Amino acid sequence: MAQFPPSGPSVPPIDGSSVPSGPSSSSTLPEPPKATSILLIGMAGSGKSTFAGALSRSATTSEAVASKSKSKDEETQTYMVNLDPAVLKTGYEPNVDIRDTVDYKRVMEEYNLGPNGGILTSLNLFTTKYDQVLSILERRAQEVEYIVHDTPGQIEIFTWSASGSIITSALASSMPTCVAYVIDTPRTTAPATFMSNMLYACSIMYKTRLPFILVFNKTDVQPSAFATEWMSDFEAFQAALNEGNATEPSSVATNRPGSGRRRTGEDAGYINSLMNSMALVLDEFYSNLRTVSVSSVTGEGLPNFFKAVDEARAEYLADYRPELERLAKAKAEARDKKKKQELERLMKDMKMGGAAPSRGGVGSTAGDQEEDEGSYGDRYEGDGQIIDPVSSKTLNSEGTD
Ligand SMILES: Nc1nc2c(ncn2[C@@H]2O[C@H](COP(=O)(O)OP(=O)(O)OP(=O)(O)O)[C@@H](O)[C@H]2O)c(=O)[nH]1
């Protein structure tokens, strides 16, 4: 496979300290670190990178005001990870950057891929090094408040790929983690686009099973009141649908008259009844959601977002972590059981074969052991001579030379 050598300092060479610690090997997990990890996911152009920049500046500024005497490093309360290999400008200074490890354009050339295949393959290559990244994050997690991951806009590349799942579960088993799903509010004013965003959000929430925050971004351009109303009041959403065109911005949302173009006939009936059924299905999802409205440009709503992250952390500790603990315990118990069984088998072999060590001991496979069992004593053809471990001389049966 082609080499894509790191060109920056973000990913250090593999050494003993870079083994991911992940969940504890004992039955109890280590204390959760100070940091909460936030995975920013959202459609292309929803404003993830701009939002990540706003988060980084906001957390740093408030902390810096409170601690004027601290050094620049100590003031930084947000650790930024960029997972988008194709981004040109991030709008923040990434501490770990996929672009330092993988050259997206070279990947496209070498593997003869298009842009999306290039992003996916770059993410896959990066994931093979994620254990090193995770060990850095685990160390940083003791010092900073937030670790923000900015993901590619091609949403399915992260949410439905093996590498996205590996990164998400590795992160979530190392530290409190939540998902922030960023929505482009001005582009969600049509009932159909609103619904497709909600379906995406719902599928990601159920796939990751992590605490979830819905972030309505760009509220400086379009307030999000219509969306929160559609989520809490089924009839309000129906009224928007009944305007006649589910794929155009609703006048309820924009406060402007609609285009007047109404879908008619079977087509309109099908779309409306599909939207209605989906809205009913999503009702349960809406009731479990944490929603915040922000503007990444003006910074409005960011304190509410940080509050939501604190709640998400509490939810992780109350719901997700006990499940991790249970899994870690089950794994440790299974390992202990296997060890005990192997020991019992070894003892059995030793009884059958006298003091001579069995071939079916440590290092042999279960198959070897089964083959040896019951036949070792019969097949033993030793002449009774044993070796003196001190002099290495062969002794006869009386123990003399
Ligand atoms: N008015 C306004 N514009 C915003 C806001 N957030 C982002 N934008 C703009 O939206 C556009 C897309 O923002 P990005 O941050 O690049 O979006 P992204 O989701 O990271 O995009 P991808 O990398 O393609 O996934 C840019 O032009 C931003 O300036 C906001 O809160 N208000």
- Whether residue 236 is contained in a domain is answered as yes
CATH number, residue 162:
3.40.50.300
Long-range contacts of 273-282, Cβ-Cβ distance < 8 Å, separation of 24 or more: 275/191, 275/192, 275/195, 275/237, 275/241, 275/246, 276/238, 276/241, 278/195, 278/198, 278/199, 279/195, 279/230, 279/234, 279/237, 279/238, 280/234, 282/195, 282/198, 282/199, 282/202
Per-residue confidence at 219, pLDDT binned at 50, 70, 90?
Answer: very high
- Residues in contact with ligand 1 by the CB-under-6-Å rule are 42, 44-50, 84, 87, 153, 217-218, 220-221, 295-297
Is residue 133 within 8 A of residue 119, CB to CB? The reply is: no
Per-residue confidence at 21, pLDDT binned at 50, 70, 90?
Answer: very low
- What domain count does the chain have? 1
- Cα 100 to middle of ligand 1, angstroms: 23
Which of the 8 DSSP states describes residue 32?
P
CA distance 275 to 394: 88
For residue 256, the model assigns a pLDDT of: 65
For 320, the token pair is 């997700």
Which DSSP helix (H) or strand (E) runs through 10?
A: none
For residue 289, the model assigns a pLDDT of: 86
- Cα 154 to middle of ligand 1, angstroms: 14
- Residue 298 predicted with pLDDT over 60: yes
- Whether residue 18 is contained in a domain is answered as no
- Residue 395 predicted with pLDDT over 60: no
- Whether residue 354 is contained in a domain is answered as no
Compute the average pLDDT of residues 95-109.
94
Compute the average pLDDT of residues 170-176.
94
- Whether residue 160 is contained in a domain is answered as yes
For 299-356, write each residue's pLDDT tens digit: 999 999 999 999 999 999 999 988 888 888 888 889 889 998 888 888 888 777 655 5
Domain of residue 97 covers 36-64+73-250+271-317
- Whether residue 370 is contained in a domain is answered as no
For residue 315, the model assigns a pLDDT of: 95
- Whether residue 16 is contained in a domain is answered as no
- Whether residue 53 is contained in a domain is answered as yes
- Whether residue 376 is contained in a domain is answered as no
Amino acid in position 22: G
- Cα 188 to middle of ligand 1, angstroms: 14
User: Which residues fall within 8 angstroms of residue 183, CB to CB, at 6 or more apart?
Assistant: 42, 43, 46, 197, 201, 214, 215, 216, 217, 227
- Residue 224 predicted with pLDDT over 60: yes
Higher-pLDDT residue of 348 and 298 is 298
Report the nearest-CA residue for atom 25 of ligand 1. Answer: 153
For 128-164, write each residue's pLDDT tens digit: 999 999 999 999 999 999 999 999 988 889 998 999 9
For 28-41, write each residue's pLDDT tens digit: 678 899 999 999 99
Nearest ligand 1 atom to alpha carbon 152: 25
- Rounded to 5 degrees, φ, ψ at 81 are -120, 120
For 245-283, write each residue's pLDDT tens digit: 777 787 767 666 555 555 555 556 777 778 888 888 888
Report the nearest-CA residue for atom 8 of ligand 1. Answer: 47
Nearest ligand 1 atom to alpha carbon 298: 31
Three-class DSSP category at 253: helix
Compute the average pLDDT of residues 173-191.
95
